[in-house]
Amino acid sequence: MDGNGRWASERGWPRLVGHRRGAERVKQIVRACPDLGVDWLTIYAFSTENWKRSTEEVLGLMKIFRRYIEREAEGMSAEGVRMRFIGGRERLDRKLQDLMASIEARTAGNTRLNLTVAINYGGRDELARAASRMADKLARGEISTTCEAEFEACLDTAGHPDPDLVIRTSGETRVSNFLPWQAAYSEYEFTPTLWPDFTPEHLGAVLDRFGMRQRRFGGV
């Protein structure tokens, strides 16, 4: 969901205004997904590299995350959205961690849309943590092999399907450490639209183009 800060800067506003507008856009996209045939949606909210930003921006983002979860918990549950989080939680403040755990528990039985939010997530960090988990399992004798299936069971996304399509807004054409294992055979779409301007209609158009692609997964 790239481009919040630039969207605000282009209008002469503080970057956090763009992040707040981006959070509003998330709500619209989430609500549109079931009608567009999307069963699983993963949004990249905050990366392990985003801690390099100014203290003001980081603290502001954390406040937006807390407010979003607090305000949307009831609506998510009512609309049948199951919400989960991936990424390392230990660096997040305790209140945010508690809110994340609470909404995960509250929406655990929902099936209309599976929404995964990546907070303090980095693909390399996830792979390193998964390797550590696998090593611990081997040491304890819980597993006896290091096959792909055992490794996937140690990822943050264990039990989730791999993404069919990865969309990056704002015109940047790099993957920025997002789901490197899971997206090995994903289709990619890079759009110049900044995230606050990315409407459900934009998403629908992207999905239409995705539907025209031929996916061979290494075959002929």
pLDDT in tens, 50-64: 999 999 999 999 999
Of residues 129 and 216, more confidently modeled? 129
Look at residue 153 and tell me whether its pLDDT is greater than 80.
Answer: yes
| Mean pLDDT (whole number) for 190-201 | 98
Does 40 count as an annotated binding residue? no
| Mean pLDDT (whole number) for 124-149 | 95
Does 201 count as an annotated binding residue? no
Task: Order the strands of the 81-86 sheet from edge to edge.
Answer: 40-47, 113-121, 81-86
Amino acid identity for residue 170 in this structure:
S
pLDDT in tens, 69-128: 998 888 888 999 999 999 999 999 999 999 999 999 999 999 999 999 999 999 999 999
Which residues are bridge partners to 116 per DSSP?
42, 84
| Mean pLDDT (whole number) for 23-37 | 96
Please give the pLDDT value at position 159.
96
CB atoms within 10 A of CB 42: 21
Is 120 designated active site?
no
Amino acid identity for residue 210 in this structure:
F
Please give the pLDDT value at position 156.
98
pLDDT-derived band at 217, boundaries 50, 70, 90:
confident
Does 13 count as an annotated binding residue? no
Does 175 count as an annotated binding residue? yes
Cβ–Cβ < 8 Å for 220, 188? no
Domain 4-121+162-208 listed as CATH 3.40.1180.10: yes
Is 2 designated active site?
yes
pLDDT in tens, 155-168: 999 999 999 999 99
Does 177 count as an annotated binding residue? no
pLDDT-derived band at 132, boundaries 50, 70, 90:
very high
Does 202 count as an annotated binding residue? no
Cβ–Cβ < 8 Å for 23, 46? no
pLDDT in tens, 32-53: 999 999 999 999 999 999 999 9
Active-site residue identified among 50, 110, 164, 177: 50
Please give the pLDDT value at position 77.
86
Q: Average per-residue pLDDT in the chain?
A: 96
Does 47 count as an annotated binding residue? yes
Look at residue 148 and tell me whether its pLDDT is greater than 90.
Answer: yes
pLDDT-derived band at 220, boundaries 50, 70, 90:
confident
How far, in Å, CA of 166 to CA of 206, rounded?
A: 10
Report residue 211 as tokens: 């539907």
| Mean pLDDT (whole number) for 186-190 | 98
Annotated domain spans of the chain: 4-121+162-208
Does 39 count as an annotated binding residue? no
Look at residue 3 and tell me whether its pLDDT is greater than 90.
Answer: yes
Active-site residue identified among 2, 114, 120, 156: 2
Please give the pLDDT value at position 61.
97
According to the 3-state scheme, what is the secondary structure of the chain?
CCCHHHHHHCCCCCHHHHHHHHHHHHHHHHHHCHHHCCCEEEEEEEEHHHHHCCHHHHHHHHHHHHHHHHHHHHHHHHCCEEEEEECCCCCCCHHHHHHHHHHHHHCCCCCCEEEEEEEEECHHHHHHHHHHHHHHHHHHCCCCCCCHHHHHCCCCCCCCCCCCEEEECCCCCCCCCCCCCCCCCCEEEECCCCHHHCCHHHHHHHHHHHHCCCCCCCCC
Please give the pLDDT value at position 160.
97
How far, in Å, CA of 108 to CA of 143, rounded?
A: 28
